[in-house]
Amino acid sequence: MGFFHFIGVFLLFAASILLLITTISAPVVNDIALLRVHLNNGSTLNFGTFGYCVLNAAQPNDGNDWCSKVHIGYKPANIIASTAASQDFDEITGGTSDALTSTMVLHPIECGLAFIAFVISAFAGMFGSLFGALIALVAWILTLISLAIDFTVFGIVHHHVSDYSAGRERATFGDGIWCLAAAFVALFFGMFIVFFTCCAARREKRRGVASKQEVQPVQTRRKRFGMF
């Protein structure tokens, strides 16, 4: 269906891969984090979609990683408050942050929708592309919601660590949350390109059919010229 349509389809595919990376963050893959907190004892906390990992944990792990179970919703504010250099959170902000973590169950849903949008717009022809763009729109809206909530959750934790640890602990946003942001952009452009290339292709085809008869004499004239 043309080069631009291919670009749109590729962007939907890229978005699903990016969302997959966010989904398999710690504790599934220890090193992928939405927020990383470097503790003053040398360990690092990696907060992910379905839990967290302590990299280089002490006893009884002897420098190995320790990870929580895979679980919908966990308590990053609580975990930070329990580390040595930290203070308790304000109950409302800490509680809000912890309560909102269960919305991260949206990450695999967005990933699945982006992948379905990719498959449909790649293989299902014109109406498929319209339907694919529609599914991509749903994925995009959910990703927007996730982005807002995730930056709220981990923004609160990031802020707390920066404020109360007097530089002994350091928080940085991780690859998991940047992949989510990149997926948001890829979904936006993928959705629009797939939508418009589908409809532009249809308009061109219709114009082609309508002008066939008018074109006829021009073609014969051209042929006659070709003989000379």
Residues in contact with ligand NAG by CB under 6 A are 39, 41-43, 54, 56-58, 83-84
**Least CB distance from residue 83 to ligand NAG, whole Å?**
4
Between 56 and 68, CB nearer to ligand NAG: 56
Which residue is closest to ligand NAG by CB? 58
**Least CB distance from residue 81 to ligand NAG, whole Å?**
10
Asked if residue 152 lies in contact with residue 100, where contact means CB atoms within 8 angstroms, the answer is: yes
Q: What's the angle, vertex CA 94, arms to CA 91 and CA 100, rounded to 5?
A: 130
Distance CA 105, CA 108 (A): 6
**Least CB distance from residue 57 to ligand NAG, whole Å?**
4
Between 38 and 202, CB nearer to ligand NAG: 38
**Least CB distance from residue 61 to ligand NAG, whole Å?**
7
Between 83 and 96, CB nearer to ligand NAG: 83
Between 71 and 212, CB nearer to ligand NAG: 71
Sign of CA dihedral 90, 92, 98, 104: negative
Between 79 and 106, CB nearer to ligand NAG: 79
**Least CB distance from residue 118 to ligand NAG, whole Å?**
40
Between 72 and 84, CB nearer to ligand NAG: 84
Between 59 and 213, CB nearer to ligand NAG: 59
Distance CA 25, CA 5 (A): 31
Write the DSSP string, 91-155.
Answer: HHHHHHHHHHGGGGGHHHHHHHHHHHHHHHHHHSHHHHHHHHHHHHHHHHHHHHHHHHHHHHHHH
Residue 16 identity: S
Distance CA 68, CA 74 (A): 9
Distance CA 127, CA 22 (A): 30
**Least CB distance from residue 66 to ligand NAG, whole Å?**
7
**Least CB distance from residue 134 to ligand NAG, whole Å?**
46
Number of neighbours of residue 61 by Cβ within 10 angstroms: 12
Burial class of residue 96 in the structure, from the number of CB atoms within 10 Å of its CB (0-12 exposed, 13-18 middle, 19+ buried)? middle
